[in-house]
Amino acid sequence: MALSLYQKAPDFSLPATGNKIITLSKDFANKSVILYFYPKDFTRGCTAEACSFRDSLLALQGIEIPVLGISRDSIETHEKFKKAYQLPFDLLSDLKGNVIKQYDAFLFPILGIVKRISYVLDKDHKIVGVYESMFDAKAHVKHTIEIYQHKL
């Protein structure tokens, strides 16, 4: 079950690609953002999802949509994934799964498997949209961006 609409999104700090630490409240203060949680770099569905976000962002030139991808993969794996697919957004590493747990993004917590779920946050970081779909990554991105465009 996803977090509720209009509740304040949990703040976090996580290591990110580009050798940085991203803190939601600091780095995206007064900015809307899309957070997407996904199971694993280089898998078919996750690659399709990341590339779909990439392609959608390129198609929407002039509209700045900050996107952050979060999984339990290491920064090293994220860096390779980002480079291999030329992703124009940061990937964050939540090795211990603490942020994933805060966002109710575990499919099977005991096994540590992350579900495919996105949250659209407004400039105050309240949740204004949620989309969850394990199997249709392209529809997932389409719906998430539609939520972003219509709510913000």
pLDDT tens digit string along 25-60?
999 999 999 999 999 999 999 999 999 999 888 766
User: Residue 100 — pLDDT band, cuts 50, 70, 90?
Assistant: very high
What gap in Å lies between CA 62 and CA 48, rounded to an integer?
23
Mean pLDDT to the nearest integer, 74-82: 98
Give the catalytic positions in this structure. Answer: 46
pLDDT of residue 30: 94
CATH tag for 13-151 (out of 3.40.30.10, 3.20.20.80, 3.40.50.300, 1.10.10.60): 3.40.30.10
- pTM value is 0.92
Q: Is the backbone of residue 34 left (phi > 0), alpha (psi -120 to 50) or beta?
A: beta
Residue 138 has pLDDT above 80, yes or no: no
pLDDT of residue 65: 78
33 and 68 in contact (C-beta within 8 Å)? yes
pLDDT of residue 142: 80
Query: CB-based burial of residue 67 (10 Å sphere; 0-12 exposed, 13-18 middle, 19+ buried)?
Result: buried
Structural domain spans, the chain: 13-151
User: Residue 148 — pLDDT band, cuts 50, 70, 90?
Assistant: confident
Which of 24-28, 106-110, 144-148 is the most confident on average? 24-28
